[in-house]
């Protein structure tokens, strides 16, 4: 497999699939498994809604950004968030925010991860059409999971039910990450 070209210390895994296919559940299970083994895990989630903002209109952080600040940091006793106003993001921009992590899961980002052969993919499929699309667009594929089980003979890629055997998918990711430790 091609090593990632962003941060040689991190194992980068794209998790792709349609709406309500189980991407979040897959990442949740894998994060629990890997963090339980001592890995530093980061997750970046693509939110396709163009009007989405984490900021709240009228609040201080919103007012700072509105007045021209490109970066606003908000900190409380248990959390810190950095709001960066941007026009577009590259995969490199996203991964820079995950520095220090050993495993990075990218949820969604279909276009960015489809173009990048250095990012391994977990495909969460709901149908045969999802599998066909993935075989065309999302190479290299590490594993298929989700409600639809493709025939291994047609894909040559393993299928593992994350709900029953999440540890097996985590072991595949760990095998890659262990080489970088």
Segment 1-21, tens digit of pLDDT = 445 555 557 999 999 999 999
For 16-47, write each residue's pLDDT tens digit: 999 999 999 999 999 999 999 999 999 999 88
Q: What is the pLDDT of residue 28?
A: 98
Q: Which strand (E) or helix (H) includes residue 165?
A: helix 162-178
Q: Is residue 98 part of a domain?
A: yes
> Average of pLDDT values for 154-169?
94
Going by their DSSP bridges, the two strands 141-145 and 80-84 should be labelled as: unpaired
| CATH for 158 | 3.40.50.300
State which residues form the domain around 35: 11-48+87-178
Residue among 15, 31, 162 nearest 103 (CA): 31
| CA gap 107, 105 in Å, rounded | 6
Total-model pTM: 0.87
Any idea which residue has 């070209």 for tokens?
A: 5
| CA gap 127, 86 in Å, rounded | 35
Domain count, the chain: 1
């Amino acid at each position: 497999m091609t090593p990632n070209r962003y941060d040689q210390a991190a194992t980068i895994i794209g998790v792709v699939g349609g709406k309500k296919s189980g991407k979040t559940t897959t990442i949740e299970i894998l994060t629990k498994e890997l963090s339980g083994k001592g890995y530093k895990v980061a997750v970046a989630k693509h939110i396709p809604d163009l009007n989405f903002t984490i900021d709240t209109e009228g609040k201080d952080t919103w007012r700072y950004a509105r007045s021209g600040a490109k970066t606003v940091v908000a900190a409380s006793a248990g959390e810190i968030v950095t709001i960066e106003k941007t026009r577009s993001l590259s995969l490199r921009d996203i991964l820079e925010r995950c520095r220090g992590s050993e495993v990075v899961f990218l949820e969604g980002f279909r276009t960015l991860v489809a173009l990048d052969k250095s990012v391994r993919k977990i495909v969460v499929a709901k149908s045969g059409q999802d599998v066909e699309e993935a075989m065309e667009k999302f190479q290299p594929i590490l594993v298929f999971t989700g409600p639809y089980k493709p025939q291994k003979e047609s894909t040559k890629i393993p299928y593992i039910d994350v709900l029953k055997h999440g540890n097996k998918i985590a072991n595949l990711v760990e095998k890659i990450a262990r080489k970088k430790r």
